[in-house]
Amino acid sequence: MINSKDILLHKEPNTLLNEPSVDFHLILNQQLFNIPFNLLLKNESILYNTLESHQLQIKSISQEISKLLQKKEKLPSTFDKQVEITAVDKITLLINTVDSIEKSIKSIYNHDLQLILTLKKRYEFFNNLKLAKETRKQNALIDWYQNLTNLLITDYLIRNSNGTPTSNKGIKFFNQLHNDPNNIISTHLLDSDILITSNQISNSLLINHDLSLLINWIETNSHPPLSKSFKNLIFQSRFQQFIELIKQNDISNAIHCYQIHLINFIDDPTHFNNVKAASGLLIFYPFLKSSLSSSNDSAITSTTYFDRIFHKNLKSKSLSSSSSSSSSTISNFHNFKLNNNDLSIYKHLLHDNRWLQLNDFFLSEYYSIYGISVNDPLLIYLSLGISSLKTKECLIHGSTSTSTTPSQVQSYINDNVLNNKCPVCNNDFKSIASQLPFAHHDNSILFDNPIMLPNGNIFDSNKLTQLTSQLKRQNIYHLNDDQVLDPIELKVFNKDQFVTMYPT
């Protein structure tokens, strides 16, 4: 490539000597150990709650059996057949309860064994990297990186795929790897079920605007004590459920949702305003709906407002004969007028952006519970790699096009001169590279004959001369012997305009 970017030519690194440490990869892939570890803690909590809940039940049944046996010893004549059947039923219930506890413990124990095996396999995976570096086996190192790349790609695809789990691109890619005998990626190295669950719930929120999966997940994982962020997720999900019921004009279930779920947060300063706004939505939604569908700034009159609240006409005769206190209240409604500006506090609650916010709340809490990296590990690796290569000339020069230059010249320059293989300038990585800092390079290789043109672009003088010869030889663009073409701006300069550059 002939442009000022060629001033910096990086030395090809020695792969083994410059390889990142094992600790570096462990830090970037911390979630591989966080997820099974947090699942072990979750199993411990489930076991504790199971034993605690059944302990009271066993104690209660045992006391009832003990009372029946004492009654038999003291008054054997009164211990009839029915009481004996009751005692047998209690004993049977006790045995069944103990069996249930035993099955729960066994299930948790087997799951824990699988998680411990998973941790062991993941330790072995990174230990293989350590052995490859210590023994300096190039092939072993390449195989390890190939497996890591497959793991990162699978993780990324599962997280970011749309649709159902069966159509998830990450799962399809994972199944292809699983069928490859040379590939070691398995469920021991990838928590596919955890990632699929988050992707499925996220898609149901963003694509289908469906709360059922999220609410089911919340109810399943609501193990006390609940964190502040988890309580916030509960409120936001129920608040959105309330809003959707209002939109569907299902007032009865909306009120039920308010009374069962939202009212519990009335004493929480964080959610008080939203609880208050939910009450207002019950009254104002019909007016909001009409104001959103019409462009005119219509006002809500006292008559329509009164009818909405009391289901009566404000001007009816029956109201004129009401008591003095109610008459005072009614008279206040005659002066009532509500404009669209007054409804603005409710309008943002009806916006579809709330689904994005709810999804962010969910993913933040979900990733926090399992110790999953918020940023995709694949993008982290790409960002680190790109930032180590990015120079100040990257992403500046693309294809060249001017109205005064023949199209044949433009095509030749774009295809043969500016068509670089820099990964930073690659179209697929531009969106990532544009946000990254520039690399700091201590060592670089300069051109043999660096010169600067009047427009400030720096090139190797020999390469510019070669480009001029190629253009003339192929009859693409005619230049005099003392002229050169700037491949970036497609401007012609004389050689006597060269400014010799010296490294400092």
Report the pLDDT value the prediction gives residue 397, as an integer from 0 to 100: 56
- DSSP state at residue 266: T
Residues 230 and 356 in one domain: yes
Structure tokens at 221: 């994982």
Task: Say if 370 falls within a structural domain.
Answer: no
In a domain, 74, yes or no: yes
Same domain, 232 and 335: yes
Per-residue pLDDT tens over the stretch 199-217: 999 999 999 999 999 999 9
Per-residue pLDDT of the chain (504 residues; tens, 9 = 90+): 334 333 222 333 444 446 789 999 999 999 999 999 999 999 998 898 888 888 888 888 888 888 877 766 666 655 566 677 787 888 888 888 889 899 999 999 999 999 999 999 999 999 999 999 999 888 999 999 999 999 999 999 999 998 787 888 888 888 888 777 667 777 788 898 999 999 999 999 999 999 999 999 999 998 778 899 999 999 999 999 999 999 998 989 999 999 999 999 999 999 999 999 998 888 878 777 665 555 444 445 545 554 554 455 545 545 455 555 555 554 554 454 555 555 777 788 888 899 999 999 999 999 999 999 999 999 999 998 888 888 877 876 555 555 456 777 877 887 777 777 788 888 788 888 888 888 877 666 667 788 899 988 888 888 888 888 888 888 888 788 888 888 888 888 998 888 888 766
**Residue 19, domain member (yes or no):** no
Q: Which amino acid appears at position 377 of this protein? A: P
Closest to 420 in 3D by CA, of 491, 490, 493, 487: 487
Domain boundary among 102, 117, 136: 136
Helices (H), 136-227: 138-160, 169-178, 192-206, 212-220
Q: Are residues 57 and 97 in the same domain?
A: yes
234 lies in the same domain as 337: yes
Residue 213 lies in a domain: no
CA gap 178, 185 in Å, rounded: 7
Helices (H), 248-376: 251-260, 272-293, 302-310, 317-320, 324-334, 344-347, 353-370
CB 29 within 8 A of CB 83: no
246 and 178 in a common domain: no
Domain around 476: 4-12+388-500
**Whether 156 and 189 share a structural domain:** yes
Residues 401 and 489 in one domain: yes
Q: Could you give the strand order of the β-sheet that contains 499-500, starting from the edge strand earlier in sequence?
A: 458-460, 450-452, 499-500
Q: Do 448 and 477 sit in the same domain of this protein?
A: yes
Predicted local distance difference test score (pLDDT) of residue 1:
34
Q: Which of 136, 170, 187 is the last residue of a domain?
A: 136
What pLDDT was estimated at residue 330?
47
91, 111, 136: which is the final residue of a domain? 136
How is residue 19 annotated by DSSP? P
In a domain, 220, yes or no: no
- 241 and 119 part of one domain: no
Residue 25 lies in a domain: no
Q: Is residue 181 part of a domain?
A: yes
How far apart CA 287 and CA 215 sit, in angstroms, is: 30
Clarify whether residues 307 and 401 are in a common domain: no
Structural domain includes residue 39: yes
Task: State whether 343 and 406 are in the same domain.
Answer: no
Same domain, 240 and 335: yes
pLDDT tens per residue, range 438-475: 887 766 666 778 889 998 888 888 888 888 888 888 88
Could you give the number of structural domains in the chain? Answer: 4
Contact between 291 and 343 under an 8 Å Cβ cutoff? The reply is yes
Please, what sign has the CA dihedral across residues 192, 196, 197, 199?
Answer: positive
- Asked if 282 and 245 count as a contact pair (C-beta separation under 8 A), the reply is no
Which residues are within 8 A (CB) of 425 and not within 5 positions of it... i.e. 6 or more apart? 394, 395, 398, 433
Provide the b/e sequence for 39-61 (b: ≥16 CB within 10 Å).
Answer: bbebbeeebeebeeeeeeeeeeb
